[in-house]
Structure 1
Amino acid sequence: MASDDVNNFLTRLSRKRARDDEENRDKMSIILGTITSVIAIVVAWYNETYLVKEPSRDWDQERRCYLNRLYNGREFDCIEQLRVSKNAFKSLCTILHGKGGLTPTRNVSIEESVAIFLNILAHNLKFKVIGFDYYRSKETISRQFNSVLHAMMRISEEYLKLHPCAIGALDGTHIPVTVSAKDRPRYQNRKEDISTNVLGVCDPDLKFIYVLSGWEGSASDARVLRDALARDNPFQVPNDKYYLVDAGYANGQGFWAPYRGTRIINACFVLHNFIRLEQHNDLVLQDQDFGFLASVDHEISNHSTLEGNANWITSVQVTDQWTTFRDMLALQMFHDYQARGTTIS
């Protein structure tokens, strides 16, 4: 009998534990369900109260509106963003299509491609930055930029005609490039940027007449100029003419260097020449001091450095004669300036 009582007691105890475990599971299920519901309610309330929901957007429509404002809106906005007037922009698109071979794609028009290209150059923007404004991927921006670039190269001869006897100004400019790891030391310039050193020569109308690219960023401006003079198809400077250069070059025959602290005008090659031809009233350049440029042009047109002959200058050398000439010309320009000031007052 004692054994039966023990067995009955253990059976009842086991059943009670089973009932208790089931009740506990039911309670935990209710508690967890309640907590989950409360959390969902709190999250929904927070999102509704504090978060601004992104509405559904028509990216194509927004892109069209942006482009329409860019080159069909205000003249000021077009010049500010693309560096060209609306008429010049439309003319450039026509020329790049007709002569440069630029064609639209299924999703990108010629106008959008050219706008992307000009926008990047005008503000030195990265592809991923311009892609955000145009609602395009970085890959699309890269493809369109290179398509326009190739078209620009096809029309470059029309806007970079060589006139070796023209008088003007020249300088070197560093343009960022991407090179292999082994070439990086040669292309690293003084500012430790990776670039190519490009020589640009302008005539008195600020149009480029000679461009030499390809030199490493570590090369000095003077070295690039010496190479330009020594090439098989050289940059030619007549003995009785000279170009204005900055203080980084030697003051020698054919190259008139200023006193330290003077700067000369740099521009942007083919596009710059195009703007000069198509956009006679350049609002950007109107902000510059053309008075000084006009006085320099006047002095250039009324002075000859040496008795003329048909020979070309083939090297850059510092001479006492040329330094004396520079001093005398600068003094004469200063006297002319004083005379004009006296007349005005």
Structure 2
Amino acid sequence: MDDYDSDEEDMIALATTATAVATSHYNENHISKEPCRKSKLTGKEYIAELVDGNPVRMYENLCTDKLIFKKLCDILTIEGSLCDRGGVSVDEQVGMFLYTIGHDKRSRIVQERYQNYGETVSRHINTILDTVVSLAPKFLQRTKPDTPKEIINDPRFFLYFKTATLYKGWLSMQIPQGVPDQFKSLIDVELEASIGGN
């Protein structure tokens, strides 16, 4: 009977220790959390500082100038029905988007810069991206496949529009002499497909 009491006491001690560790871990992670994003310069203040500050700083941080930034915000608001959400202004949302794509920044860097949680940053960047994509047909047009004759015949543009011809000529000089003609035509077809048929 004494062994049974000893084993039971050991189990109670182990269960008590495990409960104390789990409670401590839960308390540290969920109850007495210290805010992570608590800089005095919020995202809204950061954007206001860029918009009101030196144009070079605006370009270095958001890869655009002030006028284009404001115009983009206006277009996304008017044409794309974008609005302030969750305490984040349209300017701040566009700023997060441009900062992310302009510098290939990770979400955590954007979170720190704009003092927002990851879910907030992700949601706003995706909203801007969806809005830009929805407006693409209205503002972007495919280029015409035909190059104007003025450009084709202008010797200044020869290197830009005649490279396929030069490349094809160079490639045909590299084909060994013993290759049958049927294979030479296959090489020409592959070359035409890979360089756009110029």
TM-score where L is the length of structure 1: 0.33
Residue type of the partner of 1:112? E
Instruction: After superposition, give the CA deviation of every residue in 1:226-260 in whole Å (9 maximum; x if it has no partner).
Output: xxxxxxxxxxxxxxxx9959x9xxx46xx978x9x
Measure how far apart 1:102 and its partner are: 1.4
Question: Does 2:93 align with 1:113?
Answer: yes
Query: 2:112, 2:103 → 1: CA distance?
Result: 15
| SS in structure 2 of the partner of residue 106 of structure 1 | coil
CA-atom RMSD in angstroms: 3.7
Measure how far apart 1:80 and its partner are: 0.9
Distance 1:126-1:157 versus aligned 2 partners, 3 A rule: same
Is 1:99–1:154's contact at 8 Å kept on the other side of the alignment? no
Measure how far apart 1:162 and its partner are: 1.8
Is 1:128–1:138's contact at 8 Å kept on the other side of the alignment? yes
2:136 aligned residue: 156
In structure 1, list runs of 5 or more residues that go unmatched.
1-56, 169-203, 205-241, 260-314, 327-345
Match of 1:97 among 77, 83, 89: 77
Is 2:83–2:90's contact at 8 Å kept on the other side of the alignment? yes
Measure how far apart 1:58 and its partner are: 6.9
Is 1:244–1:256's contact at 8 Å kept on the other side of the alignment? no
Query: 2:91, 2:167 → 1: CA distance?
Result: 42
Residue type of the partner of 1:88? I
Measure how far apart 1:65 and its partner are: 2.9
Query: 1:128, 1:77 → 2: CA distance?
Result: 22
Q: Give the 5 Å matches for 1:67-216.
A: 67-167=47-147
TM-score where L is the length of structure 2: 0.55
Distance 1:130-1:316 versus aligned 2 partners, 3 A rule: farther
Is 1:71–1:78's contact at 8 Å kept on the other side of the alignment? yes
Query: 2:159, 2:118 → 1: CA distance?
Result: 42
Q: Tell me which stretches of 4 or more aligned residues in structure 1 moved more than 6 Å.
A: none
Greater fraction of residues in helix: 2
Q: Percent identity?
A: 24
Query: 1:148, 1:129 → 2: CA distance?
Result: 18
Query: 1:124, 1:62 → 2: CA distance?
Result: 21
In structure 2, list runs of 5 or more residues that go unmatched.
1-36, 152-157, 171-187
| SS in structure 2 of the partner of residue 318 of structure 1 | helix
State which structure, 1 or 2, has the greater radius of gyration over its C-alpha atoms: 1
User: How many residue pairs were aligned?
Assistant: 131
2:27 aligned residue: none
Match of 1:318 among 188, 191, 194: 191
Instruction: After superposition, give the CA deviation of every residue in 1:5-24 in whole Å (9 maximum; x if it has no partner).
Output: xxxxxxxxxxxxxxxxxxxx
Distance 1:74-1:256 versus aligned 2 partners, 3 A rule: farther
Measure how far apart 1:167 and its partner are: 3.7
Measure how far apart 1:88 and its partner are: 0.4
Residue type of the partner of 1:165? P
